[in-house]
Chain A
């Protein structure tokens, strides 16, 4: 158990819909990173928040947005969903030793 929690574990929805994925970092960690992993694809970096502020953006679609709240949990909002958005979505928070990232269990999103 990495200490990073994500909900829900599974999500099935239809094209055109909007969903919200939630992540709580490890106690004391200020950073949250979001990644998308499609079938047989590598982890694609989406966005990084540090203590409530956006710090870096990857190849995140305009239909996707995220925020980090004062209690440091983060939400990833995916809208106008398409079949190609079906993927595992991971969040991670950063350890202090060498900056290694600890990943949550992921949310498996299926768009039908």
Chain B
């Protein structure tokens, strides 16, 4: 099975930088995804890491260390609209399923951006 841990809530100030951590335990690791979800809305894809290192995409960056089972999402120049839940999700390839894959989501980190 898989186990994914994220902080439940975080608060940060507009214009600041915030780092949201995610730790995971899984077998057959095949990628880690970050999604943003505003309340009552669908999750939207932010970033993907499958190799160790940092992936940068505008104000958002994501880091992965496979040996440590650890990832973080870094949000820079925070804006009020960044107030949302951030979901860490791990993909595995269960044996015997060919190209089938499954995403397991953490419970999400609710980020509140304040003035």
Q: Which size bracket describes the interface of A in this complex?
A: 20 to 34
Number of A-B contacts (CB under 8 A): 58
- Additional 4 contacts, C-beta under 8 A, given A98-B48, A108-B40: A42-B105, A42-B106, A45-B102, A95-B45
Q: Which size bracket describes the interface of B in this complex?
A: 20 to 34
* Cα-based distance from A104 to B41 in the complex (angstroms): 9
Task: Give a binary string over B55-97; 1 marks a CB under 8 Å from any A CB, 0 the rest.
Answer: 0000000000000000000000000000000010101001001
CB of A8 within 8 A of chain B? no
Closest 8 CB pairs of A and B: A55-B100, A42-B107, A103-B42, A43-B105, A100-B45, A98-B48, A42-B105, A56-B102
CB of A13 within 8 A of chain B? no
Closest Cβ–Cβ distance, residue B99 to chain A (whole Å): 7
Inter-chain contact B107/A41, CB cutoff 8 Å: yes
